[in-house]
Amino acid sequence: MDTAFAELRNTPAISRMLDRHANPEVEQALLGALLTQPAAFGRTVGRVTAEDFADPVHGAIYGAVSERVSQGRAVDHRLLGDVATACDDVLQEVGGGRAYLAGLAGAAGLPSAVIDYADTIRQLATRRRLIDTGLRAVVMADEAHRIEDAVSVVIGEAEGLVDGGGARTRSEVLAAMVAGMEKPGRVFPTGYPSIDRAWGGGLYAGRMYCIAGKGKAGKSALAGGISYALNRAGVRHAYLALEMGALEIEQRQVARELGTHSMALIGHVHATILARAGQYAATATAERLDNVIYVDMPGGTMDRLRTEILAAKYRHRCAGVIVDYWQLVTGRPPGTSEEEHLRRVAEWLAATVKRLGIWVLILAQLTDDGEATAVSRTGMNRNADQLYFLRDCNLDGARWLEGKASRYTPTTDIGAQGEPALKLVYPGPHFEDWAARGNEDTRQAQIDMAEGETS
């Protein structure tokens, strides 16, 4: 691809387009200011980098200045000599050698314009990079790449173009904080009051939530219950199913609505059930209960995950994403361990939810003894804003959530071994929030468990 990209980039039409988005005079004015004005460099930090300069010679000079400052050396009359030594090779390419630096110093811009110079250079560089991204899309579309991977790469590159410029002063941060207090962001209840209380009201944009459990512990049932409540509340969200497919998830949801078991919707369905299911489907459509975007992606790669999450945000306008489940994300690069691969997945998700302003609920697998693997400890403990382990109780279908980590709320358990917070019940099946039902149900559950232990 590199050869085809270079050939396309060097065509006369593309070269003229790139040249229109370069301003050598502004680059020279900025570098001249850096070489002659001690305070100028500090105003460019966070606004421009050596890679932003269209002229590679100018980029090398800026890099040399940056290197000198990073070493704690003053920006003074000795700077010209240091930069000349560091950039001797590239300076010979433009002719004049060290005389070129003297010319830059003579072309220094006004101190008050340094920030404008830096911003202009950065903006032009972003435009050139956007053109390059489009060229890569053309090349990848023309070559024998999987279309999903090609789209993912292009979206990822384009997304990266808006990552810069994140520096803010303390005053700006405080102003944003106060504005957030005056107009707080929306919180999305999970449908389980006991979980919402522990999570500060529910799911918040910019946060990643993880529920881990052993195989067959009910992770998908719990995620399905949360999805059910969000759908009923009109909250548009995506469900990325790497294990259980959309059809199986919806069979449970419909069975819950019809008051039957999901197995009744499989195989030779009774005529009465079939009629009721059809009526329900029509009613759900009419009532606009269509707020779930399902993506069946067994064996889904990291690139596919990236593509679908970006599509959920920008194409489907989703408030959040459910990922079922973490260890099934494939696409481990050669020479990379499974732990490193999954840690990168977790790190990318944690960064992405903040950048996109969405929430992510990701499920994870525990070992058979109910403990986290090294992968889970390094991946989710460090990146999830809320991490809970789904635990069994001594009562069939009863569960509680052990709090393992929390960044924004006290780390508390939801229920306990002897006090189930959740109970897997029928129709459906689905989880009910027993902790929210009141003390009477809790006492009865304890009685049932005691009877089970003595029998």
Q: Read off the pLDDT band of 301 (50, 70, 90).
A: confident
Please state the domain extents for the chain. 2-160, 187-454
Percentage of the chain beyond pLDDT 90 is 25
Q: What is the mean pLDDT of residues 67-83?
A: 69
User: For residue 447, what pLDDT is reported?
Assistant: 43
Residue 440 confidence (pLDDT) above 50: no
At 165 the three-state DSSP class reads: coil
Q: What is the mean pLDDT of residues 442-455?
A: 45
Q: Read off the pLDDT band of 149 (50, 70, 90).
A: low
Domains 2-160 and 187-454 agree in fold: no
DSSP H or E stretch at residue 296: strand 292-296
Cβ pair 155, 134 in contact under 8 A: no
The CATH number of domain 187-454, selected from 1.10.10.10, 1.25.40.340, 3.30.450.70, 3.40.50.300: 3.40.50.300
Largest separation between any pair of C-alpha atoms in the chain: 96
User: For residue 442, what pLDDT is reported?
Assistant: 46
Architecture (CATH level 2) of domain 2-160: Orthogonal Bundle (1.10)
User: How far is 256 from 251, CA to CA, in rounded Å?
Assistant: 8
Q: In this predicted model, which residue has the larger pLDDT, 377 or 386?
A: 386
User: How far is 401 from 224, CA to CA, in rounded Å?
Assistant: 16
At 66 the three-state DSSP class reads: helix
Cβ pair 238, 312 in contact under 8 A: yes
Q: Is 259 left (phi over 0), alpha (psi -120 to 50) or beta?
A: left
Residue spans of alpha helices (H) in 183-328? 193-198, 219-232, 246-258, 271-286, 302-314
User: For residue 146, what pLDDT is reported?
Assistant: 67
At 49 the three-state DSSP class reads: coil
pTM: predicted TM-score of the whole model, two decimal places: 0.64
User: For residue 320, what pLDDT is reported?
Assistant: 95
Q: What is the DSSP letter of 414?
A: B
Task: Convert the pLDDT of each residue in 394-425 to its tens digit.
Answer: 778 899 999 998 988 888 999 988 888 999 88
Task: Convert the pLDDT of each residue in 242-256 to its tens digit.
Answer: 988 888 888 888 888
DSSP-based helix, strand, coil % in the chain, nearest 5: 55, 15, 30
